[in-house]
Amino acid sequence: MAPPHFFWAAGGLVALSLLTGCAGRRDAEQAGSGPAAAARPDSAGYPYTEADVRFMSAMIGHHSQAVVMAGWAATRGASGSVRTLAERIVNGQQDEIASMQQWLRDRGRPVPETTHGSGHQHHMPGMLTEAQMQQLAGARGPEFDRLFLTLMIQHHRGAVSMVNDLFGSRGAAQDETVFKFANDVHVDQSTEIARMERLLSALPGGERSS
């Protein structure tokens, strides 16, 4: 018969192996729980509807116009607070565009080209017309600040409206990625609307958007 200490040692090795295996699985799970996990191929197995596809496709164009608008702040003499806001919009919405494009690719759906600010899709809520884009592009300094805040509030309200329409569509937003993205858009852009309204009201002769 093996001595008692043998069984204690063997038992300790088994316990250590189990703990190590559990820790490895936890690390692997945590590594796959970040933002990149939402774009994994197996996420294509979640249910989605045509309303989800329309929303993600349309929001690519909607976001891309906002990126163009915000990109002008650095060269139009915008104030520091407006430039900071614009940089946040560019960085955040470029990342979201890439995520939406990947979501569509994973499901074999067409990926629309970005609009680069074109007003031909101004039928979407909040989208600026060509005339509005040209007006903003030609503004400088305090006038740019005023126009940018006014028009971006309009643009953000359109995005919030698109989210509300999605959540009101039967069976839509059940896909985990779509739900999280739409919810984030609603929260983030509603917060930014309030911030832009404060900035606008603080401008000389400023007024709150209607």
Residue 20 within any structural domain of the chain: no
With 0-12 / 13-18 / 19 or more C-beta atoms within 10 angstroms meaning exposed / middle / buried, residue 35 is exposed
Tell whether 156 is covered by a domain: yes
Whether the per-residue pLDDT at 133 is higher than 50: the answer is: yes
Would residue 29 count as lying in a domain? no
Q: Give me the mean pLDDT over the 150-168 stretch.
A: 98
User: How many domains would you assign to the chain?
Assistant: 1
pLDDT in tens, 51-110: 999 999 999 999 999 999 999 999 999 999 999 999 999 999 999 999 999 999 999 999
Q: Give the Cα separation of 198 and 196 in Å (integer).
A: 5
Position 5 in a domain? no
* Pair 83, 16: CB distance under 8 Å: no
CATH code of the domain covering residue 143: 1.20.1260.10
Interatomic CA distance for residues 204 and 58, integer angstroms: 36
Q: Which residue has the tokens 């699985």?
A: 25
Residue 45 has what pLDDT?
A: 57
Q: Is residue 154 in some structural domain?
A: yes
Residue that the structure tokens 């520091």 belong to: 80
Residue span of the structural domain in which 120 resides: 47-202
Place of tokens 């929260």: 187
Question: Is residue 8 a part of any domain in this protein?
Answer: no
- Residue 206 pLDDT: 61
Give yes or no for residue 209 having a pLDDT over 90: no
pLDDT at 205: 73
Angle of CA points 48, 50, 55, to nearest 5°: 90
- 79, two tokens: 């104030």
The candidate with the shortest Cα–Cα distance to 205, out of 131, 126, 137, 149, is 149
Residue 34 has pLDDT above 70, yes or no: no
pTM of the model: 0.75
Structure tokens at 209: 């958007």
- Length of the chain, please? 210
- pLDDT (0 to 100) of residue 33: 40
For residues 174-190, give the mean pLDDT: 97
68 belongs to a structural domain: yes
- Asked whether residue 160 carries a pLDDT value surpassing 80, the answer given is yes
pLDDT digit string, tens, across residues 108-128? 999 998 755 544 455 799 999
Do residues 139 and 147 lie in contact, with contact meaning Cβ atoms separated by under 8 Å?
yes
Place of tokens 């163009």: 68
Residue 187 clears pLDDT 60, i.e. is over it: yes
pLDDT tens readout for residues 138-156 = 999 999 999 999 999 999 9
